[in-house]
Structure 1
Amino acid sequence: MAAPSDRADVRPPWWREYAPGVELARSYQRGWLPKDVVAGLVLSALLVPQGMAYAQLAGLPPVTGLYTSILCLLGYAVFGPSKVLVLGPDSSLGPMIAATIAPLALANGDPARAIALASMLAVMVGVVMTVAGLARFGFVADLLSKPTQLGYMNGLALTIVVGQLAKLFGFSVDADGLLAEFGAVVSGLADGKANLTAALLGVGSLAGILLLNRFLPKLPSVLIIVVLASVLVGGFDLTSHDVDTVGVLPQGFPPFTIPDVAWDDLPPLFVGALAIAVVALADTMSTASAFAARRGDRVRGNQEMIGIGAANIAAGFFQGFPVSTSGSRTAVAEQAGSKSQVTGVVGAATITVVLVFATGLMQYVPQPTLGAIVIAAALSLADLAGTRRLWRQRRTEFWLSISALLGVALLGVLPGILIAVGLSILNVFRRAWWPHQAELGRVAGVAGLHDTESYPDADLLPGLVVYRFDAPLIFANARMFGEKVRELAEDDPELRWIIVAAEPITDVDTTASDMLHDLDAWLNERGISLVFAEMKDPVRAKIERYELTRTIDPRHFLPTLDDAVAEYVRQTGATWRGPEQRA
């Protein structure tokens, strides 16, 4: 007898839907493990220095970046739906965290108080995101079209590359923004600020990664280069030549801690949490959509919110701060062969081992090599072939993609995402505002009625125009529809019927209803009937609710175009005429 859990009519526990990591553990393939382990080791080499740097950017002790990285990776591994996304401290959130907690941390800048405030901020962000996910606000993932995704990723790649150039050549710049950073890099190179040893190591690392990826793609190129570069630094004492390295890490692991903050701190923290949640959501949805499109996966927007929420809550209870998805770290994991969130678990375990037992293990990893890793990952984000395809196939979407790219590159990731979303929405609105319109005629040898612009020799019936409007009939395009129909009526003094091929019209709002009322009255005064064919039942129901059938004859709603044309022929006796007969 089959166990109850094996019966087809027994549904899995409800909580499994909200914990994809549990299902992953049940279906995990052994063949993925070597790739996930390698990718996790590679990822940990990047997570450590970035985590520490972004903690400082947020106004917090560097070690909190490591605590945050560990716990958010574990939280997302259980509750996050994506197999490849990597969460962690993020440069776009750092200034927002600092702006939120700095006014509350008192004049003496007490680190313990700053950590408590940042941890409570992370918990609040996590709760906001989790509630949003449970409320099914994941539709935000649908607001980015493929062209805007391409533009976002291309812009992100450009931003990452420029941001890492100074590190690649062994110096630093004090500039904000793509153009300012690029100008500072060029000026630094011209002024001789580059460290020759570091530059050779960085450029060599980048070349090595790209060559291995090109000719030996099955090898873990990034890990190989990191090991070789570390051996070179340690063996030849390159630190004496001013080559920066990760250095010795702080030791220890935080206990579970409930953030201790005053009640008066909660309102300003909550306002900051809302702002950070919006930024993290926009960034994560954009990155998730882009990587899902590359891998052929489906974005589960609501569960993504829950996964981000769980990651933030986990970080907040272990002295961490708010996190988001990282496009560069996700690209590194993907390039290193990641197959699942086990990559993140391996990365978290590696950081834990290093933090507790081997704080000096990564002291020889050179910063220029880390810059090379990020640049190589960024290059894999760009999709120039897809952009060229847009240029060939649809110029408007090409320029939409370029606008998203420029938004990300010139204004920053968050404004760029907002621009991309806004452009996607405007593009949808533009199609509804200025939809395709056509007059239809009969074409010999082709079934149905067709656009007379595509078939200028189509046959027409005298006194009849068959007009198709390819959009919902709403406030934005109602005037256009009315003006076009009036134009058709005025151009043909013998016109008796205008049949609207209504199948593409998926909605009629109240503004359009008023327009149809006035339009039908205007046509009736001229002896012209307004007839609708193939109108969808939900739209016809709205027409009835608007009481339009008091003006438009109910007999002028016909099920098909063929029925409408046949009725016109029956009433008028008209016959089809070709271009030579109409001349």
Structure 2
Amino acid sequence: MSTAIKTGLITGIIALAEGIAVGRSFAMFKNYHIDGNKEMIAIGTMNIFGSLTSCYLTTGPFSRSAVNYNAGCKTAASNIVMSIAVMLTLLFLTPLFHYTPLVVLSAIIVSAMLGLIDYQAAIHLWKIDKFDFLVCFSAYIGVVFGSVEIGLVLAVAISVLRVLLFIARPRTFVLGNIPNSSAYRNVEHYPNAHHVPGILILEIDAPIYFANASYLRERITRWINEEEEKIKGAGSTSLQYVIVDMTAVANIDTSGISMLEEFKKTVDRKGLQLVLVNPGSEVTKKLNKSKFLDEIGHKWVYVTVEEAVGVCSSFMLHTQKANPMKDESEG
């Protein structure tokens, strides 16, 4: 029983994946839309009724679909004609095909498949995104030298690996102010964006999970150290505030919250003030429940970077004005 369930699950998943993948491939050629949900319902219903009559597992095989496509078939009625032809062949023409070499049948399939290879699309992928080309090429190699199932597994595995890499190594940016505007953008993309004296503005462009929490802490700490060294070398206003733009942080887990707590301690040891900008509703709920917002103070959470910079600049200006008065009173 367990073997039957295991086999059924594996073959069902492969059949669905193959059928939907083949459907989308041909949809690109004919420029029409494929609904994955409807495809799954159709394949599932077809196999339920087929199982009542001892049919083989039914899906949308790539080779037969390619032959059908190259034969000029336009509608689903072609399947009815094909099924009748197969039935008549099995009943009356089987002896005639008994001695037909398999290489002849293979040649029919190969000739149909060659027309489906889009070299220009592969070149386009190579020019735009090398990783996408790797996924495409891996699927191609898997199908050619293995089977459709192997090709699908390779493509899905590499795609999942890519997602994990993006999650584990999220992008972080240093933001600067665009001259004559209130916009703050990545200083690497906008060379004319200038740093705000005494303030380091960082942006996290991904959810914060256990997989990337350590990396983010190390990366942000490195940004702070580099900024402090740069300020010492230039002899400008010392770093006093670290603003973290969390607009793109859609979610955070307990490891991410622990990372923020450790980062807060690091910032405190350096005598800096941590400021958060626009954490999402889900992130804010979790930060509230963990009491992290109470630790940094709700007054240090702002909606926009512009607002946060304005408040921090006002505090620095007030401090600079207060210190000379204090020195004079002491003198």
1:572: which partner in 2? 316
Question: Which amino acid is 2:260 matched to?
Answer: L
RMSD: 2.8
Question: Which amino acid is 2:315 matched to?
Answer: Q
Q: Given the alignment of the two structures, is residue 338 of structure 1 paired with residue 73 of structure 2, yes or no? A: yes
Cα offsets for 1:125-151 (capped at 9, x unmatched): xxxxxxxxxxxxxxxxxxxxxxxxxxx
Summarize the Cα distance change of 1:504–1:267 in structure 2 as closer, same or farther, 3 Å threshold: closer
When the two structures are superposed, what TM-score results if normalisation uses the length of structure 1?
0.48
Summarize the Cα distance change of 1:447–1:268 in structure 2 as closer, same or farther, 3 Å threshold: same
1:559: which partner in 2? 303
Q: Given the alignment of the two structures, is residue 459 of structure 1 paired with residue 194 of structure 2, yes or no? A: yes
1:535: which partner in 2? 279
Q: Given the alignment of the two structures, is residue 428 of structure 1 paired with residue 163 of structure 2, yes or no? A: yes
Q: Contact (CA 8 Å) 2:179, 2:192: kept in 1 or not?
A: no
Q: Given the alignment of the two structures, is residue 546 of structure 1 paired with residue 281 of structure 2, yes or no? A: no
Question: Which amino acid is 1:420 matched to?
Answer: A
For 2:138, which of 379, 399, 403 is the aligned residue? 403
Specify the SS of the correspondent of 1:381: coil
Q: Contact (CA 8 Å) 1:435, 1:469: kept in 2 or not?
A: yes
Question: Which amino acid is 1:277 matched to?
Answer: G
1:518: which partner in 2? 262
Q: CA deviation at 1:406?
A: 2.9
2:147: which partner in 1? 412
Q: Given the alignment of the two structures, is residue 322 of structure 1 paired with residue 57 of structure 2, yes or no? A: yes
Question: Which amino acid is 2:250 matched to?
Answer: T
Q: CA deviation at 1:559?
A: 0.8
1:496: which partner in 2? 240
Distance in 2 (alpha carbons) for counterparts of 1:296 and 1:315? 31
Q: Contact (CA 8 Å) 1:521, 1:551: kept in 2 or not?
A: no
Q: Given the alignment of the two structures, is residue 349 of structure 1 paired with residue 93 of structure 2, yes or no? A: no
Q: CA deviation at 1:362?
A: 10
Cα offsets for 1:311-337 (capped at 9, x unmatched): 223333334322332101112222333
Cα offsets for 1:91-150 (capped at 9, x unmatched): xxxxxxxxxxxxxxxxxxxxxxxxxxxxxxxxxxxxxxxxxxxxxxxxxxxxxxxxxxxx
Deviates more, 1:540-549 or 1:485-494: 485-494
Specify the SS of the correspondent of 1:344: helix
- RCO higher in structure (CA 8 A, sep ≥6): 1
Question: Which amino acid is 2:71 matched to?
Answer: A
2:120: which partner in 1? 385
Question: Aligned residues: percent identity?
Answer: 25
Summarize the Cα distance change of 1:294–1:437 in structure 2 as closer, same or farther, 3 Å threshold: farther
Q: CA deviation at 1:297?
A: 4.1
Q: CA deviation at 1:274?
A: 2.8
Distance in 2 (alpha carbons) for counterparts of 1:447 and 1:328? 58
Summarize the Cα distance change of 1:293–1:445 in structure 2 as closer, same or farther, 3 Å threshold: farther
For 2:11, which of 252, 276, 279 is the aligned residue? 276
Summarize the Cα distance change of 1:536–1:385 in structure 2 as closer, same or farther, 3 Å threshold: same
Q: CA deviation at 1:446?
A: 6.5
Distance in 2 (alpha carbons) for counterparts of 1:401 and 1:271? 29
Specify the SS of the correspondent of 2:13: helix
Question: Which amino acid is 2:279 matched to?
Answer: M
1:127: which partner in 2? none
Question: Which amino acid is 1:503 matched to?
Answer: T
Q: Contact (CA 8 Å) 2:177, 2:196: kept in 1 or not?
A: no
2:215: which partner in 1? 480
2:183: which partner in 1? 448
Q: Contact (CA 8 Å) 1:440, 1:452: kept in 2 or not?
A: yes
Distance in 2 (alpha carbons) for counterparts of 1:342 and 1:446? 62
Summarize the Cα distance change of 1:362–1:505 in structure 2 as closer, same or farther, 3 Å threshold: farther
Q: Which blocks of at least 5 consecutive residues in structure 1 are unaligned?
A: 1-265, 575-583
Question: Which amino acid is 1:496 matched to?
Answer: Q
Specify the SS of the correspondent of 2:57: coil
Summarize the Cα distance change of 1:548–1:362 in structure 2 as closer, same or farther, 3 Å threshold: farther
Deviates more, 1:513-522 or 1:266-275: 266-275
Q: Contact (CA 8 Å) 2:143, 2:149: kept in 1 or not?
A: yes
Specify the SS of the correspondent of 1:573: helix
Q: CA deviation at 1:513?
A: 0.4
Q: CA deviation at 1:563?
A: 1.1
Distance in 1 (alpha carbons) for counterparts of 2:206 and 2:169? 9
2:249: which partner in 1? 505
Distance in 1 (alpha carbons) for counterparts of 2:280 and 2:73? 47
Superposition map of 1:71-82 within 5 A: none
Specify the SS of the correspondent of 2:176: strand
Q: Contact (CA 8 Å) 1:501, 1:561: kept in 2 or not?
A: yes
Specify the SS of the correspondent of 1:539: helix
Specify the SS of the correspondent of 2:311: helix
Q: Which blocks of at least 5 consecutive residues in structure 2 are unaligned?
A: 229-237, 319-331
May I ask how many residue pairs the two structures share in their alignment?
A: 307
Distance in 1 (alpha carbons) for counterparts of 2:95 and 2:120? 38
1:307: which partner in 2? 42
1:394: which partner in 2? 129
Q: Contact (CA 8 Å) 2:200, 2:227: kept in 1 or not?
A: no
Distance in 2 (alpha carbons) for counterparts of 1:295 and 1:561? 47
Q: Contact (CA 8 Å) 1:408, 1:414: kept in 2 or not?
A: yes
Q: CA deviation at 1:280?
A: 1.9
Specify the SS of the correspondent of 1:311: helix
Superposition map of 1:182-193 within 5 A: none
Q: Contact (CA 8 Å) 2:182, 2:306: kept in 1 or not?
A: no
Question: Which amino acid is 2:112 matched to?
Answer: A
Q: CA deviation at 1:387?
A: 1.2
